[in-house]
Chains A and B, each alone.
Chain A
């Protein structure tokens, strides 16, 4: 199974893991989930769509990252997985 990771668990960053799977699943563990869960999920979905990536499990361990940081880490993790 191909796996890619990127980022860190430092403040304002996130650690993203992407694994090959038979379906797409997004798991978000965020310190700001109460306020931003939907926004983080939308960022992940939009980035997967832009990169035309399907059938992956995405795990986002978020420490308050801004949208562009989450997107960056996800793109790096996907490229590393490939």
Chain B
């Protein structure tokens, strides 16, 4: 369960050495788009040595590797030998690329007796969005991250903060993820200097069912964590619902604050409190 995941360019020592300090629920070390093609070896070596040698590490480590059809793919994947990688973020995820990744992970895990590495699928192509349910139900996949910039580029549309142009893709990610009990993660907001735009974007994503969001700058984390955490109002409502449930033991449905409460709302209240507990929000 995450609220925020921060991208850190794999060839940036200044950011890497602070990876455990940033208030992100997970850190994504990026070997793909933020690294120049001539610096891939340098970035891979730097992230590898950080994971193996640094005494302090983030709570959760995600590694964005290069796509399966590049010469970097297998070398990137070897970083799981550090046993410090919790998730592989697979770019341009699709049924075929997941299959290739799965085979290679199985090979590494058997050969080197590694713990199972989970996968976050980056849905950033039209094909990913079409295949989304098959991606979501893959046994390795624990979450789907919508990559709206690549998607918009492929469709040849402009991105807006309101996000009407990605509403279909967002909904596909949310519905497939929810149906498969995995995490729907929203695309990053590229406005790193405008908190109001970020806040609006987060609220829209949350209202559509996204449960977490990626950040491309540490300054975005506070707003993302705030919006994707249960609010005081939600916590108060959830506590009230569960207290009313106790008072109405044996009843399938009961009234709370003038509204009928039954099983779906009780489950919602329980999820809110579970999330609040996880992130130590009282």
Contacts and interface: CB of A to CB of B under 8 A. Distances in A.
- Do A and B pair up? The answer is yes
Interface string B10-52: 0001101100000000000000000000000110011011101
Interface residues of A, number: 18
Given A76-B41, A76-B45, A79-B41, A13 B14 contact: yes
A68 B41 contact: no
B53 interface: yes
Nearest to B50: A68
* Interface size bracket, B side: 10 to 19
B14 A11 contact: yes
A66 B17 contact: yes
Contacts of A11: 14
A12 B17 CA distance: 9
B280 interface: no
Given A12-B14, A66-B17, A75 B53 contact: no
Contacts of B194: none
Contacts of A73: 42, 45-46
Contacts of A80: 41
B78 to A, nearest CB: 14
B53 A71 contact: yes
Interface string A39-82: 00000000000000000000000000111110111011001100
B13 A65 contact: yes
A72 B48 contact: yes
Contact of B54 (A6, A10, A68, A76): A68
Given A68-B50, A71-B53, A12 B41 contact: no
A75 B42 CA distance: 9
Contacts of A7: 42
The interface centre, meaning the residue of A10, A68, A69, A79 with most chain B CB atoms within 10 A of its CB, is A68
A3 B46 CA distance: 20
B45, B52, B53, most chain A CB atoms within 10 A: B45
A76 B42 contact: yes
A6 B42 contact: yes
B47 to A, nearest CB: 9
A75 B45 contact: yes
Nearest to A10: B14
A73 B16 CA distance: 14
A69 B46 contact: yes
B53 A68 contact: yes
Contacts of A71: 49, 53
Contacts of A12: 13-14, 17
Contacts of B46: 68-69, 72-73
Q: Which 7 pairs from chain A and chain B are nearest by CB?
A: A68-B49, A68-B53, A12-B14, A72-B49, A72-B46, A72-B45, A69-B13
Given A66-B13, A72-B48, A76-B42, 5 more contacts: A10-B13, A10-B14, A13-B13, A69-B46, A69-B49
17 contacts: A6-B42, A10-B14, A12-B17, A65-B13, A66-B17, A66-B54, A67-B53, A68-B46, A68-B54, A69-B16, A69-B46, A71-B53, A72-B48, A72-B49, A73-B45, A79-B41, A80-B41
